[in-house]
Amino acid sequence: MPTPLERLQPAGWPRPRGYSNGVRVPAGLDLVLTGGMVGWDASERIVPGGFVAQFAQALRNVLAVVACAGGGPDDVVRLTVYVTDREAYLASLPELGEAWRAVMGRSYPAMALVEIAGLVEEGALVEIEATAAVPPRGLPDA
């Protein structure tokens, strides 16, 4: 049975919506660090549909990496979301919430959003990197 993660909520602070203030990872779990995932498919083509579609695909790509280590949405403890247009992000919040719940369910890691001038991948509007804490599965055979 996996060790539960502790969502940190300082006394007197308003409860955040869509993220956690912090997450305590107990000893005994393996950390998984993803690279920056953009909204492209397995053929490295940016998905059509704009910002929300790319956001959802980038989340799916993060979870695909986490799944390789035996984890899922509830194991993601931190996300950093890089966007090229903060206003597009803010204007899309209701749709982003729907996309989030479709991919991540009700799992809300600690999260930061950073607006940047551009991304390396042509046409990419969002990039997401993650840290997950998954149950250990032992060392691979040599």
Mean pLDDT within 125-139: 91
Q: What pLDDT is recorded for position 107?
A: 93
pTM over 0.75: yes
Q: What pLDDT is recorded for position 98?
A: 97
60 token code pair: 């799916």
The three-state (H, E, C) secondary structure of the chain, written as one string: CCCCCEEECCCCCCCCCCCECEEECCCCCEEEECCCEECECCCCCECCCHHHHHHHHHHHHHHHHHHHCCCCHHHEEEEEEEECCHHHHHHCHHHHHHHHHHHHCCCCCEEEEEECCCCCCCCCCEEEEEEEEECCCCCCCC
Q: What pLDDT is recorded for position 137?
A: 81
pLDDT category of residue 3 using cuts at 50, 70 and 90: low
For residue 139, pLDDT over 80 is answered with: no
For 32-86, how does the pLDDT look when each residue is reduced to its tens digit (9 = 90+)?
999 999 999 999 999 999 999 999 999 999 999 999 999 999 999 999 999 999 9
Phi first, then psi: what are they for 86, rounded to 5°? Answer: -60, -40
